[in-house]
Structure 1
Amino acid sequence: MPWITALKHTARSGFTLQRAYNEPLRALRGAVGAGISAFGALLVGTPQLAVSAAVGAFIAGVATFQRSYRPRPLLALAAAVGLSLSTFVGYLASPWAPLFVLVLGVWAFMGGLAWSLGPAAGVVATNTVPAMLIVVALTENIPQALRHAGVIAVGGLVQALLVVVWPIRRWGAQRDALADAYASMADYARRLRHDPFAAFDPDPLMTARNAATVTRRQARNRPPELGGRRRTMERMRPAMAALADPRVGAAEEGPERDRAREILGAAAEVLDAMAHSIRTGDPVGVPERTYRSLAVRSTGPVLTGAARQSALLLIGLLADTADSLESPGGDGDGSALGNLSRPSVHELLPVAAHAVRRNWRWSSPVLRHAVRVGVVAAVGETIGMLLPFGHGYWAPLTAVMVMRPDFSQTYSRGVARIAGTALGVVLASLVLAGLETWSAAPNDYVLTALAVVAIGGAYLTILTGYAVMSACIAAYVVFLLAMGSTGLVSTAEERVGQTLLGGALALIAYAVFPTWQTVRLPDRLAAYIEAGGRYAAAAVAAFGAPSADSYRAVREALLDHRQARAELLTATAQAADEPVRHRGLRNSQISGARSAMAGLGRTALLLEAHLPPLGGGSGAGSEPSASGGTGPEPVPGAERFAAVLQEETARAAQAVRLDQPIDLTPVRLHYQAWAAELPDPDEESTDPRHLVVRDAGYLVAALEGLQQALREGDADRTGSGSVN
């Protein structure tokens, strides 16, 4: 879209307010931590120490609100350590202006590079830069710098201790993530009743998987109902899709379809009850009529063939999960499979090094963001030093806090922060002016109390909108800087001017040195095609060599497919806001390719649902047992077809990256030769040979749709319009 349109769109999104607030008790706990730190430092030290303590406690508290499933005390302590180190290093370089500018730029660069570890690490690392800028101005010698670094660390320690002694919904984030996944599965079951080809959003499942990744210490303390349930729940999705799909499950109309709708409706009720139980810890409350609807005729003649097989599998999985939640004595199937391992603190260094190496290339958005934020911080500080105003650090501070690795967030946050900061400064200045008019100048204790109230408002409005939160942060800083000083109005004017300068620097820097997601769309789409091909090939190959390893490979390929899909959707959404054009893929081509790949994924899901059990499992697609047993018979030729499928989809992905036409004809030719070797598919049969050859035909049809979508309009590409 044009620049003017893009700027209008991002500005509107920056000013958008959500009718949502953070948990009041959580916000109160953070404000209490800041109050204890600030008032404690004021009682035993100077107003300047109280400012440092408030800064440390506030930013450590912000770290505990980040979307992370690590222990909240650990996040607060990590933030405190980073803040203390940044302030001391900044002071050591502060006597020499050129050296300080260089150190600030390098520190901001490292903070930007921390985004390679995830958004939580990026936000915490970025917040250490403002601490360096603010606290350095309050110190005069090395002992003072050490004291300020110490009280900042104490502020973070206070926040960490408060999280421990004042717990609010222990494991609440993990409970919500798993409950949301169950609720999304219930919604999927309801939609399948009316639309057998309803789309499924895997994002809640990905979030639940992330929440289930724990350290060894967390695994020992995790509530039993949070362990192992996600995997059982995810196995319900292929069974539901196979039951609802009229091509391989219940007939499109008639008694079979009515029975399938009845089972799916009952499954939705059971899943909703499970979600409520996980979220609250209450027993699973499923009406008796729901259990009866699952049991009546469940083995009768209404459902036949693969549809009956899928229904029995779904009913068995629902019963197993409900029983495990009602009697959570163990870790469910998670005990046999082990925990998803999250690195502990001492194990993070090699993980972090690997993430940085992976992003240490010029095409990486993280590295470009790190360079951009480092240069802008140094330039902003230099300009602030040269201008004949005080408080010159507000320009680099604002620029660093605004900048993000993508265009839409940087510009929306930029305009929101500028407007919110101006509003916060004006309101805080009016409050101070009113206090001065009403009585004598407010003392340091009153100013500290006002700052703590503003901190509580910032915590409470984290979910409301960046403009509102920025106003609260601006007010809190004004109240802190008013401690022991005069000239409040001029301070406010200077800060507004420096904030405008910093916001402008951030926006100009991204325009001059951008990282456009639009130009990365072909690579994201190619990765999605390649991952989809691997998932489908793994599902087919599992029929050719049924084993615990091949079934596990299907699971791993599914996770890669979900991740590639999520990255494509994120890039597409970000590209829609960018003021650039791409002269390769057009809107309609990407949309058509996504639809075709969704069909491919849905068919691979059916193949996964029809996998025969290993070692006497409970149904198709059941988790393989280590004991083995006789096992199912391999389907001849399945592995050969899977190899061709993976090879050709990988070749098609490379063609998309190079902007070349794709040709998936070899897949159809090999499928036709393979199908001719096997018995003709029987709609009522549950023989794996019949199921795999029938489902593989749908894979071929989906790939032909992909080929058609990408070839459509190749001759008259003009590149008009933005990619979305």
Structure 2
Amino acid sequence: MSLINEIGRGTIAVEKAQIALTNPLRSSVVILIGVGCAIGVGEPLATLPLAFGALFVQMDDPGGPFSRRATVMLWASVWMALATLVGGLVSNDFATHFVIAIPIAFVCAYASAAGPRASLTGVLCLVCFSIFSGTPIELLDSFTNAELLLLGGLLQTLVTISPWPLRRANGIRSDFAIFFRGLAHACSTSNLEIISSSHATRLQLAIDDLAVYENDSKGELWFKRLADNGREVRFGLLGLAATRDEISNPTSRKIMDDLIYSVGDVFQSIALTLVWHWRHQRLLAARERLLIIEGKARARAQEIDPSLIDAVIVPLLALAETAAGPWPLGRASGIHFFDSRRKPLGPMLRAHWRRNDVFFLHAVRLTLSFLVAVSLAQLLDLPHSYWMPMTVAWISKPDLSGTTMRIVSRIFGTLLGVFLIGLAFSIFVPNDLGLALIIGFGGFVVLVFLFSNYALAVTGITIFALTLFELIGDPVNETIGMRIVSTVTAGVIVFIVALLIPNRSGSKVELVLSEMVNDLDNYSDKILRSIDDRNGELSSDRKNLLHQRDLAAAAITAATYEVGHHSMRPADATYLFNILNSATAWCVAAEIAHTSAIDIAAHNQISREVAELRARLLSIHNNEAHLDRGHSSKVDHPFHQLIRNAHLILDKDI
């Protein structure tokens, strides 16, 4: 029941930082125009490849520098057009279809070895192959379909990169906006969200985009100020959040809560301003409100450390000034039109060409699942034989946890989409214009939720696809039951194959947690002994700890959604991780405030218990006899209390 609950929560969870409306709205208008033009010239069959091309290529938009976006989207258009062509050519001969599907499915899946963007391109190509090799409606000829899909992709690409000559760095600003939106959401929820490792990941993705600038150009320096101050304020926020629960006075606690909430309001305003500069007035107003709360917090200096306030407020005000001030745009930005960085694909693909490699096994699993789906659809003589293999392409992931979540999200999203479109068509029968508007709306929903909630994105793609087929003469209400059955059947196929050839990403939870404890030991030892960062060792230990924290978070998430036995219950691993995360945040706060020195006896006791914690985790991972906790004397110290709580989790787990 716990696994079902966790999967259910994961299915409906929405990553609000990833939600943006501008690009999805623009892209859905392009889709709507393409569909409208095809209807206007009396060629409704042309809407299918045009609309899919425009939507799928936009889904493959990587963001960031325009040169990267143009390269990825253009190549995606070409590869998807080729997949469409091949799918159409083999659609009338099952034997040829089956044989050709083997290398296509394998190559599309193995593309994951080249990175997340190549993985998505591979999935979209396999989806195109599935659709145009199994659609029951008599479409245009294969070459025309491929050309129209390519045209839809090219139109979407041209519109997306149209601001490129203006050198406004829209994509890079949007990446930084995602980082600040994530921090804003965290400040309005809980300490666990504030100290989450996802913020560091988002910031690094934004920083990686800066190679498009000339060294020391105005644009690079402007974005580096955002990055440096963003890193500092995140660091300070870790410390501030760590001390919130230690405040006993209700009035002071309320002021601390208001301070963190006001910080989040400024983050949200910075994110808005980075997208729309005219929103800087909102940012200025949020800054003034923050300064009022800051004054109240400083008046409580005995309970709210001023150094922790400074660690947040100083870089945050610098961020506000940078975002609200003039932007280095156009010729003054120093931006290159082309990003010369290119990772060669050959070495990446060859590095994973091993039978036990995660991506090689993913290609084997997807190929096997795809062939079973193609064969079953043919055997059952399904009128929409493309739906089952298409679903297999969408939901197969390299690891068991990712596949499980995709299956559940796909079924839930499909059911919701089918229900909504079936309800709408049972109430009224829209004309061609109404169908075009629904298609555009479906595309909008897909693009809004693509990276924030997969189930809702599936709802959008279901509305999009079913309405498209309604437009070309395939009545939706007559095939709803078949589509639901095909979706569930595809999920069963993929899940069975994933269990037969499993890749359990969550199998090393205890090991990565023990490594996190080891890095925490190194970092906390220097903090508790009040060693400064003169030689950079403290910063290095902190960096190592935060990196290991990211690995632990990923492993626990995977274990949470994986069926089967776990040496350590995922729920307990999550509790333990949260405690270690809080201990990390406490160390950060102590580093900022310089208030951590303790006597030698207490330090030795804490160090001993941290070492015992790591040893106990390793014994669980190695399936050895569980180690009992040694004798522990009480040390009146917040860090020691956290370590004791961590031991209590292991006492419960064993």
1:203 aligns with 2:202: no
Partners of 1:237 and 1:17 lie apart in 2 by 23
What is the percentage of aligned positions where both structures have the same residue? 16
Cα offset, 1:553, TM superposition: 1.2
- The corresponding residue for 2:489 is 504
- The corresponding residue for 1:564 is 551
| Preserved CA contact (<8 Å) 1:539 1:554 | no
Cα offset, 1:534, TM superposition: 1.0
Partners of 2:325 and 2:194 lie apart in 1 by 33
| Match among 651, 654, 657 for residue 618 of structure 2 | 654
Cα offset, 1:410, TM superposition: 0.1
Partners of 2:507 and 2:29 lie apart in 1 by 49
1:399 aligns with 2:386: no
- The corresponding residue for 1:682 is none
- The corresponding residue for 1:602 is 585
RMSD across aligned C-alpha pairs, in angstroms? 5.6
| Preserved CA contact (<8 Å) 1:424 1:474 | no
Q: Secondary structure at the match of 1:582?
A: coil
| Preserved CA contact (<8 Å) 1:242 1:310 | no
- The corresponding residue for 1:86 is 83
| Preserved CA contact (<8 Å) 1:94 1:100 | yes
Distance change in 2, residues 1:170/1:322 (3 Å): closer
Distance change in 2, residues 1:403/1:163 (3 Å): same
Q: Secondary structure at the match of 1:585?
A: coil
Task: After TM superposition, list the pairs within 5 Å mapping 1:422-571 onto structure 2.
Answer: 424=421, 446=432, 452-462=436-446, 463=449, 465=456, 468-479=459-470, 481-482=472-473, 488=474, 493=478, 497=482, 500-501=485-486, 503-511=488-496, 513-514=498-499, 521=506, 523-541=508-526, 544=531, 546-547=533-534, 549-571=536-558
Cα offset, 1:272, TM superposition: 2.5
- The corresponding residue for 1:132 is 129
Partners of 1:477 and 1:503 lie apart in 2 by 22
Partners of 1:301 and 1:385 lie apart in 2 by 73
| Match among 572, 575, 585 for residue 568 of structure 2 | 585
| Preserved CA contact (<8 Å) 2:233 2:312 | no
| Preserved CA contact (<8 Å) 2:112 2:119 | yes
1:228 aligns with 2:228: yes
Distance change in 2, residues 1:210/1:583 (3 Å): closer
| Match among 414, 437, 441 for residue 417 of structure 1 | 414
1:157 aligns with 2:154: yes
Partners of 2:301 and 2:25 lie apart in 1 by 58
Partners of 1:173 and 1:465 lie apart in 2 by 22
Distance change in 2, residues 1:604/1:103 (3 Å): farther
- The corresponding residue for 1:629 is none
Partners of 2:458 and 2:574 lie apart in 1 by 34
- The answer to which of 650-659 and 344-353 deviates more is 344-353
Distance change in 2, residues 1:646/1:217 (3 Å): farther
Amino acid at match of 1:709: I
1:58 aligns with 2:49: no
Render the CA deviation track for 1:561-592: whole Å, top value 9, x for unaligned: 441343145235424xxxx5536334774365
| Match among 212, 219, 224 for residue 217 of structure 1 | 212
Distance change in 2, residues 1:403/1:562 (3 Å): same
| Preserved CA contact (<8 Å) 1:15 1:416 | no
Render the CA deviation track for 1:13-54: whole Å, top value 9, x for unaligned: 979999999877645533442355456678999766554333
Partners of 2:258 and 2:426 lie apart in 1 by 59
Cα offset, 1:244, TM superposition: 4.9
Cα offset, 1:291, TM superposition: 4.0
Distance change in 2, residues 1:16/1:390 (3 Å): same
Distance change in 2, residues 1:455/1:367 (3 Å): farther
| Preserved CA contact (<8 Å) 1:109 1:373 | yes
Amino acid at match of 1:656: I
Q: Secondary structure at the match of 2:284?
A: coil
Distance change in 2, residues 1:161/1:704 (3 Å): same
Distance change in 2, residues 1:350/1:452 (3 Å): farther
Cα offset, 1:301, TM superposition: 11
Distance change in 2, residues 1:352/1:184 (3 Å): farther
Cα offset, 1:293, TM superposition: 6.7
| Preserved CA contact (<8 Å) 1:86 1:129 | yes
| Preserved CA contact (<8 Å) 1:21 1:460 | no
Distance change in 2, residues 1:650/1:73 (3 Å): farther
Cα offset, 1:135, TM superposition: 3.5
| Preserved CA contact (<8 Å) 1:427 1:475 | no
Partners of 1:647 and 1:16 lie apart in 2 by 36
Amino acid at match of 1:655: S
| Preserved CA contact (<8 Å) 1:182 1:233 | no
Q: Secondary structure at the match of 1:285?
A: helix
Render the CA deviation track for 1:502-554: whole Å, top value 9, x for unaligned: 54133243145438999764522431331243144135347557345324313
Distance change in 2, residues 1:36/1:550 (3 Å): same
Cα offset, 1:158, TM superposition: 0.4
Partners of 1:468 and 1:78 lie apart in 2 by 27
| Preserved CA contact (<8 Å) 1:422 1:471 | no
Cα offset, 1:456, TM superposition: 0.5
Q: Which consecutive unaligned segments of at least 5 residues does structure 2 have?
A: 450-454
Cα offset, 1:70, TM superposition: 6.5
Q: Secondary structure at the match of 2:499?
A: coil
Partners of 1:527 and 1:562 lie apart in 2 by 8
- The corresponding residue for 1:720 is none
Task: Give the TM-score normalised by the residue count of structure 1.
Answer: 0.66
Distance change in 2, residues 1:389/1:319 (3 Å): closer
Task: After TM superposition, list the pairs within 5 Å mapping 1:90-129 onto structure 2.
Answer: 90=87, 97-115=94-112, 121-129=118-126
Partners of 1:153 and 1:370 lie apart in 2 by 26
Task: Give the TM-score normalised by the residue count of structure 2.
Answer: 0.72
Distance change in 2, residues 1:310/1:427 (3 Å): closer
Amino acid at match of 1:712: K
Amino acid at match of 1:178: F
Partners of 2:48 and 2:193 lie apart in 1 by 55
Amino acid at match of 2:576: A
- Work out which of the two has the higher radius of gyration on C-alpha atoms and give 1 or 2: 1
Alignment length, in residue pairs? 613
Partners of 1:710 and 1:665 lie apart in 2 by 9
Partners of 2:176 and 2:364 lie apart in 1 by 38
